[in-house]
Amino acid sequence: MAVMSPLMNDCFLRALRRQPVQRTPVWLMRQAGRYLPEYRRVRERAGSFMRLCTTPELACEVTLQPLERFRLDAAILFSDILTLPDAMGLGLEFVEGEGPRFQKPLRQISDIDQLPIPDPERELRYVTDTVRLVRRHLSGRVPLIGFSGSPWTLATYMVEGGGSRDFRRVKGLLYEYPRAAHALLSKLAEAVALYLDAQIAAGVDAIMVFDTWGGVLSAAHYRQFALAYAQRALEGVRRRGGEAPVPAILFTKGGGQWLEAMAASGYDALGLDWTADLGEARRRVGHRVALQGNLDPLVLYAPEAVIRTEVKQILQQFGPGSGHVFNLGHGVDPGVDPARVGCLVDAVHEFSPLFHQEGP
């Protein structure tokens, strides 16, 4: 287990636990990425996205870059959700203009039966080494977030072979071979739990599960094939996490209609995309979980006056009190001007203390 430096800024962790804070913490999904010129320089130096992900020194460098520009309350490990299926033998590659693609997608039931569950400290050692390196460089400045794709989201890429518009193959698996789908998701839940547990042991302060494609499912299938296995992965982490486990966030893109079920899943916080009303979400989940989000990422193309207005509206939607982590409803778009990101972060710092004042 990594030796933790005392945190100088624990605002993010306190908000996840719905404890009092002096202002709303802020971090951004994909805060280290192509919109930053310094990231693009390191990416060019690495030669490929996979080399960037698998070289701890470079992954550490880009993880820390946003903290040098912006007053963020958390760092998020620079990696990719598909490193786990890659470690399971599917052969991940990133094709320019096309995105991720697997050389050996799951095409037969026997492919699922033969899938190994990787040892994170062996097949994914570059990830845990990056965590340890980032922790050393952070020196307790802010918390570090580790993450994984959800079992369902990983399964979609593994069965489709990459991105998809209609998810025909993986949905066909659910309808025609549900037992095989459950077998795949069960393996992935175990692999995700081991992976997150290894990140915690290496030093992350919180974990996030990205269920990017949960929203493409029907309500019944979401509960059966997405939420159930995200919950199982968390339970696997909790079994090994001792009496004080790190906070866990579940983000389901397009999942606003299932907030009550998500709030009952055991996660400490729910990430919301920009289509959800934050105030309504807070009323629906009550005090069971914290909420993270949920500014439309494309607002960052607007003038700074508009960004400030939109930030204030998000804060007003949530209302007074703790339990809110400000974020986008998805990742920073690659074409965004970094100055717009700085405007967003500064606006949260400026406006949010008004929502955390002690009563008379």
The catalytic site residues sit at 30, 34, 43, 80, 157
* Helical ranges in 205-337 per DSSP H: 219-221, 228-240, 259-263, 278-285, 304-318
The number of beta carbons lying within 10 Å of the beta carbon of residue 276 is: 22
β-sheet bridge partners, residue 270? 250, 291
CA distance readout (Å), 316 to 24, 29, 150, 275: 12, 21, 31, 16
288 is in an annotated binding site: no
Structure tokens at 339: 């100055």
- The answer to whether 157 is a known ligand-binding residue is yes
Any binding-site annotation on 35?
Answer: no
Report the C-alpha gap between 324 and 334 in whole angstroms: 26
Residue 307's closest CA among 273, 271, 280, 339? 339
Residue 252 three-state SS: strand
Residue 154, Cα to own-chain centre: how many angstroms?
13
On whether the CB atoms of residues 150 and 211 are closer than 8 A, the answer is yes
Nearest C-alpha neighbor of 245 from the set 253, 235, 254:
235
The answer to whether 30 is a known ligand-binding residue is yes
80 labeled binding residue: yes
Q: 34 a known binding residue?
A: yes
Tell me whether residue 287 is annotated as binding.
Answer: no
Asked whether the beta carbons of 282 and 315 are under 8 A apart, the reply is no
Instruction: Say whether 212 counts as a known binding-site residue.
Output: yes
- Binding residues for substrate are 30-34, 80, 157, 212, 330
- The annotation places the binding site at 30-34, 80, 157, 212, 330
